[in-house]
Structure 1
Amino acid sequence: MLIPRFELTQSDEEVFIVLHAPYANIKDTEVHVEGNDFRFYSSPYYLRLNLPGEIVENDASAGTYDCEKGAFSMRFSKVNKGEHFENLDMISSLLQPPKKKTNIPNIEVISNPAADSEIDKGEKEDEGQISESDEWFIPQNVTEKEPLISLEHPQYGFGNKISRALDAFEEPWLAEIIDLPQPDKTPVSLRKSLREKHETKSFNDTHYVAEYLEPEQINEYINFEAEWDKLKSEEIAFSEEDVDLLKELPNKEYLLNDKEIRSITLGLVDILFGSCYNYRTTLGENTVESGWTIAKLSSTLSWFQCFEEPKEVLIACLRRSLCFPLFRNWNLSMKVIEDVKEVLKLGKKYIIKRFCEIHSLFNKSCEPRYVLNQLYIKDYLVWMQQSPVSLFETLAKEFDEISVTKEEIGFNLIELEASAYDVYVKDYVIENTATESADLLKKFSKLTTTEKPILSVTSSSSDTDSDSDSTSNTSSCSSSDTNESKKSSKESDHTSDSRKSNYGSSSSKSLDSDDDSETNPE
């Protein structure tokens, strides 16, 4: 049987149910309502909902079928008028069957004073007397230390409840989706130290400095207005793809202690960082690398790490964002931290929406990242729907008060930035100085070769015959304008350098005194 896609809304007095069943056989349709139980059958569809409140079918109830949309629309009255039904948009929770109530008989324990007194008396005697055989049995406390390779296989996955799930896969295959080596042999206690060593080795000074000194390209992504910057909580709605995914999730009940719940919520923030980074650096348009980005930036997904403190989560996220993705910029990473805080403030429903997108990206990934859906994402989707809204509100307030500095990251960012800036300034000064010197030389050369006011020098016709020997040793110089002269003087090959200099200076002096006069060198 198929589960139809469905939507539930409510008013103060009624509940509205819309079922999308385009292939339904209308003549066989049956609807049953009893208290919290709602059932729908129309071959090949079957749906049973466990509602958070009681409804009743009465004269005010109605139902219609839209042939074009293939949708059933029904409404039922609430038993308690004005009651608000919680989590009507949590698809998986509505599909869970009602929990069976077990009646535990009340047993009253009646004490026996006589027996109690004898027991107390015997205990006191035992405390006062120690036999010879027992005097060597003193309290002994063995220091517990986890071995490097535990006999019990390390656990990972949602709530750290899974082990040996990756035994059958080869190392090269696993290396495409996670960074943790030998996940079924590496103990949990070593995951953090191994991760930090790998990040320190992977950090590239040159890449970071290049984007620190030239952040023009990064500013586009920092200034980008993300979806959550303008979205209001009441406007959040699941898409058809989201509903199709949520209704197919298995019904699970999780038995978790406080420590496990704490680790799960911190891991949730760690995964959200990767999602927000991908959204911002792709300007809201996912790419073929989106799945890689989310998995790589999340220590939970790539190293199966379990966090204990909120600040530890943010430090890990920042470190990985400065080591692996294309854009490695401190201001960009801090902007993504602010994005995570905004997503948490929008509440449970929007966080589930983000995880639905992550699930889709992992399923469509070229690498086998669907394994991460099996280990983490599906369980997160089921668990979040069952969790109270107050849990996410507390988480948002807690992270809103946390800040991280560059000193806490561990890459010596401040010293690196200071050194890079000094080198950049020195290179800038040297480059500008060289440029200015070159410009001055060019201007000087132009000034000495083209800006001298030289006029043409010619000899009279009468002097040509008499002074033929002297004219053979000199040539005429012409100039059309003293400010924009374009021609250089031509001199005879037989004239010496000293005579050229003397002749030029004498000509200039005579020309300066009288522009219209003619000179006849001797």
Structure 2
Amino acid sequence: MITPAFELTQDPDFLTIIIKVPYARASEFDVYFEGEDFKFYAKPYFLRLTLPARIVEDGREKASYNTDEGTFTIRLPKEIPGQYFEGLDMLTSLLAPKKSRSGKPLVEEIDTAASAELSEEEEEEFDWELEQTPYKESAEITLPLQYRYGFGNLRSGVFQRLQDELSDVIDIKDPDQTPVDERRRKRLAAEAAKFDPDHYLADFFEDEAIQHVLKYKPWWVDAHKRMTAFKGGSHQEHDTHTFVVFSEEEKEQLRKFTNKSYLLDKRSRHHVYLGLIDILLAYCYEICVNEGDKNVESAWNVRKLSATLCWLESFTSVHDVLVSFGRRVLCYPLHRHFGLVTRAFNDTVMILQLGKAAVLKCLLDIHKIFRENDPAYILNDLFITDYCIWIQKTKSKKLAALSESLQKSTLVKSHVGFELEELEAAAVLVQEEERTLEAAGTVSKQQLPSSESETSESEESSSTSSSETEGSDSEERESSTSEDGKINSLQGTFQEERTVPLIACNGLRQGTNASTFEVSDEKPKVSLQSTAVPVQLIEELEKQMHTAIRLSEQPEGLATASCISQEPEENRVSEPDGFSKDTAGKGNFLEVSSKTNPLLLFCSRNEDED
């Protein structure tokens, strides 16, 4: 038999059931309804529903068939006019047979303790902020010891068999032999090692892309606005499922689920609710950063940001869930900004306030993301499928209490444990220092042209003063020359020799103006302008030294002054024929002297020597 696609709507007096049976024979169909039971048969389609409230057969019932669309529309009167039927969108729950909801057909469901516990759950208000001691299994329970995980901690041994295939799905190694406390310690250590301050600060200061995605509004934002406006305009109670619409694909997926019953103790139920918050937070982050579009990273984002899925974590408080999610957002995905943590928190509150229909729609989307990703599909078997079935049977007031508790919770940067505020403050100080240095550099560059002009002006003034000094020196020399009287006639004879360049002993050619010789009739006198030697020192040297001129052969037969030895006379060895030899014996020199007007021709190795 084929279970057909169907839809349920209602008004104050009637329940309407629309059943799609294409290619069925309209003349051959059966409809049965009584109390909460409804059955429909049209070969090969069969549909059995367990309704949330009672219907009656009083002659007002009506059925019609649309041959073009292949749909049956059946209108059934309510037993109590005006009664509201809750949970008409929970298709999996409606398909469950009536006997599985009451009585004792299954070994797990018993009327005594289980029923009492379920009734206690419905009556008592659960304190979501209550701190609980994590559950520890004793070694006597199972040998070998295997720790549980999955929805309600109902699974074990799964990863022991499929460790190689599922190593990329979860981060914890060997979860079957790792207790809950050790999983938490390893998770915190892995997050601390993964946190990158440079990546966080880059997203903190350069957040254009993040501010863009924060403007995206998913479908639940508009639905929440409509719900708020409806509640503000009317004080009547109304199920919020009317603001959530399921697609045909989602309805088909709900029909494929197999109905189950979950017997959970108080601690397990607590873990299930907190795990639901953790999964929804990761899903809201994924929808925000990708602006509603799915990509190849969608499955990775959801499972990586949820410690429930990635580390098989069992939380004990709402605050622990928020801290774990905040740490993982700042460690793993592409965008690591605290604003995305706050946005996911607000979105999750809105989804829970919209009720279980909105939660179910999100879970179905997560189920689809994992179903299309290999090997993340195993997370559907461990968590998401059970969540999709379980949420349909959850009381609305439980979700309302959960959303209230989440809304009262707070998460600030100091809770995360990465010293975010200190990092931001240090980065801001560094930025201010860099701006100060840049401003100082700009000011110095602006002042540079004026300083250069001042330097050039000082250089010009110094050159001007030096030229003036040289002019005054030349004027003083001219006056001293005129005072000496007439120049000896021998000056003209030596003028030609003075123009011949002198070669210093170091091989450098000195200019023709290196020395100026002045000869007077009254007294021999030598004036050296280049070295400015005192007259008294020259006269003393005249008495102790002889001038020697190295002779060298020239093509024209002229003698060229090559080098002058300034050795004292007592250091020389007399040689015959008018030659003298230096003590080193390095060359012969012709001694020239004049008794009346001795003339000294000499050169120095450099202009600094006297």
Counterparts of 1:149-298 in structure 2 under 5 Å? Answer: 151-171=144-164, 173-231=165-223, 232=227, 233=240, 234-298=242-306
Output one character per residue of 1:381-433: Cα deviation in whole Å (capped at 9) or x when no partner.
Answer: 11110111011000011111010121111111111111111112222332343
CA gap of 1:424–1:54, structure 2 versus 1, over 3 A, is same
TM-score by length of 2: 0.63
1:412 alignment counterpart: 419
- State the 1:440 CA deviation: 5.5
Aligned partners of 1:34 and 1:56 also within 8 Å: yes
Counterparts of 1:119-130 in structure 2 under 5 Å? Answer: none
- State the 1:225 CA deviation: 2.6
Tell me the secondary structure at the aligned position of residue 166 of structure 2: helix
2:84 alignment counterpart: 84
Aligned partners of 2:10 and 2:16 also within 8 Å: yes
- State the 1:446 CA deviation: 12
1:299 is aligned to 2:298 = no
Output one character per residue of 1:423-453: Cα deviation in whole Å (capped at 9) or x when no partner.
Answer: 122223323433454465589999999xxxx
CA distance in 2, matches of 1:88, 1:237: 12
TM-score by length of 1: 0.74
Tell me the secondary structure at the aligned position of residue 394 of structure 1: helix
Amino acid at match of 2:407: D
CA gap of 1:105–1:46, structure 2 versus 1, over 3 A, is closer
CA gap of 1:443–1:319, structure 2 versus 1, over 3 A, is farther
- State the 1:223 CA deviation: 2.6
2:369 alignment counterpart: 361
1:26 alignment counterpart: 26
Aligned partners of 2:151 and 2:383 also within 8 Å: yes
**Structure 1: stretches of 5+ with no match in the other structure:** 107-143, 450-522
1:7 alignment counterpart: 7
Q: Choose 337-346 or 221-230, whichever is displaced more.
A: 221-230
Say how many residue pairs are matched. 409
Output one character per residue of 1:242-262: Cα deviation in whole Å (capped at 9) or x when no partner.
Answer: 111111111111111111111
Identity %: 35
- State the 1:18 CA deviation: 0.8
CA distance in 2, matches of 1:448, 1:421: 40
Aligned partners of 2:50 and 2:97 also within 8 Å: yes
Aligned partners of 1:359 and 1:373 also within 8 Å: yes
Tell me the secondary structure at the aligned position of residue 261 of structure 1: helix
Output one character per residue of 1:99-149: Cα deviation in whole Å (capped at 9) or x when no partner.
Answer: 35369999xxxxxxxxxxxxxxxxxxxxxxxxxxxxxxxxxxxxx9967x9
CA gap of 1:239–1:154, structure 2 versus 1, over 3 A, is same
1:395 is aligned to 2:406 = no
CA gap of 1:440–1:101, structure 2 versus 1, over 3 A, is same
CA distance in 2, matches of 1:363, 1:211: 32
Question: Over aligned residue pairs, what C-alpha RMSD do you find?
Answer: 2.6
CA gap of 1:444–1:227, structure 2 versus 1, over 3 A, is farther
Aligned partners of 1:221 and 1:332 also within 8 Å: no
Amino acid at match of 1:84: Y
Amino acid at match of 1:235: F
Tell me the secondary structure at the aligned position of residue 433 of structure 1: helix
Structure number with higher relative contact order (C-alpha < 8 Å, ≥ 6 residues apart): 1
Amino acid at match of 1:165: V
- State the 1:168 CA deviation: 2.1
Aligned partners of 2:93 and 2:393 also within 8 Å: yes
- State the 1:290 CA deviation: 1.0
Higher gyration radius (CA)? 2
Aligned partners of 1:58 and 1:76 also within 8 Å: no
- State the 1:43 CA deviation: 2.2
Aligned partners of 2:220 and 2:350 also within 8 Å: yes
**Structure 2: stretches of 5+ with no match in the other structure:** 113-135, 228-239, 457-610
CA distance in 2, matches of 1:79, 1:193: 57
Aligned partners of 2:61 and 2:76 also within 8 Å: yes
CA distance in 1, matches of 2:402, 2:72: 39
CA distance in 2, matches of 1:145, 1:56: 52
1:67 is aligned to 2:67 = yes
Aligned partners of 1:23 and 1:44 also within 8 Å: no
- State the 1:182 CA deviation: 1.1
Aligned partners of 1:213 and 1:421 also within 8 Å: no
Amino acid at match of 2:85: F
2:391 to 384, 399, 404: 384
Output one character per residue of 1:137-179: Cα deviation in whole Å (capped at 9) or x when no partner.
Answer: xxxxxxx9967x98321111100010111222233x3232111
Counterparts of 1:479-518 in structure 2 under 5 Å? Answer: none
CA distance in 2, matches of 1:345, 1:441: 66
1:51 alignment counterpart: 51
- State the 1:305 CA deviation: 0.5
- State the 1:355 CA deviation: 0.4
Tell me the secondary structure at the aligned position of residue 50 of structure 1: strand
Amino acid at match of 1:81: P
Counterparts of 1:465-476 in structure 2 under 5 Å? Answer: none
Counterparts of 1:89-128 in structure 2 under 5 Å? Answer: 89-99=89-99, 100-101=102-103
1:469 alignment counterpart: none
Amino acid at match of 1:177: V
Tell me the secondary structure at the aligned position of residue 24 of structure 1: coil
Aligned partners of 1:20 and 1:70 also within 8 Å: yes
Q: Choose 413-422 or 196-205, whichever is displaced more.
A: 413-422
Tell me the secondary structure at the aligned position of residue 80 of structure 1: coil
Aligned partners of 1:150 and 1:187 also within 8 Å: no
- State the 1:343 CA deviation: 1.3
Q: Choose 424-433 or 375-384, whichever is displaced more.
A: 424-433
Amino acid at match of 1:360: K
Aligned partners of 2:36 and 2:51 also within 8 Å: yes
CA distance in 1, matches of 2:138, 2:312: 18
Counterparts of 1:308-327 in structure 2 under 5 Å? Answer: 308-327=316-335
